[in-house]
Amino acid sequence: MAHELHEFISREEISNTVRRLGRELSLDYASTLKPNESLKVIVILKGAILFASDLIRELKVPVRLDMIRLASYGSGSESSGKIHMLKDLEQTPKDEHVLILDEIIDTGRTLSFLIQKLRSAGAKSVKTCTLLNKASRRQVIVNVDYIGKEIEDKFVVGYGLDFNEDYRNLPAIHYIKT
């Protein structure tokens, strides 16, 4: 603990960004979904839980929720490069429209792994939404359909984001000096 933190994205900016994403998603899925269909939202645990809980309340279409726990960071701030699945989905999203929620896309490996898994499970469509995007860090090509904010290559914590499991509860997002 006890790192130097610098506030970078305020609570207010986060909540404006989440509302904007909610409006875009609601409009797009209102025309995609048929009358009897729901949107399957898949949350990548644990980092995306705060983002997901705020965002799904902004969605004006029927939503069903599932979660998967994936980790690429061994410990600290460097990616191990390998994706570990620590908890699988509860239902196979066969023939469903799926929206993946993550709080930050870095190398893109986590998202790429999950997109492939969902496609081979027979999802009707797979789209991706992230609060933050570090485009300059990308190592695999992956399509991100909805982006809250582009950020530069700095390690951030708060609003679900951790450093060695600390700081997830902070309401704003901070740069951390590691």
Contact set with ligand IMP (CB under 6 A): 44, 47, 72-73, 79, 102-110, 155-157, 161-162
In the list ligand IMP, Mg ion, none, the entry touching 96 (Cβ below 5 to 8 angstroms by class) is none
* Least separation in angstroms between CB 95 and Mg ion: 27
Please state the separation of Cα 7 from the chain's center in Å. 21
In the list Mg ion, ligand IMP, none, the entry touching 133 (Cβ below 5 to 8 angstroms by class) is none
By the criterion CB under 5 A, which residues form the site for Mg ion?
47
Q: What share of the chain is helix, strand, coil (3-state, %, to 5)?
A: 25, 40, 35
* Least separation in angstroms between CB 110 and ligand IMP: 3
Judge residue 4's burial from the number of C-beta atoms within 10 Å of its C-beta, 0-12 exposed, 13-18 middle, 19 or more buried: exposed
Tally Cβ neighbours within 10 Å of residue 105. 23
In the list ligand IMP, Mg ion, none, the entry touching 108 (Cβ below 5 to 8 angstroms by class) is ligand IMP
Question: Of 22 and 110, which has the nearer Cβ to ligand IMP?
Answer: 110
CB 75 within 8 A of CB 164: yes
153 is catalytic: no
User: Exactly one of 102, 106, 145, 153 is catalytic; which is it?
Assistant: 106
Q: How far is 143 from 34, CA to CA, in rounded Å?
A: 24
Whose tokens are 């960071």? That residue is 73
* Least separation in angstroms between CB 47 and Mg ion: 3
Residues serving a catalytic function are 106
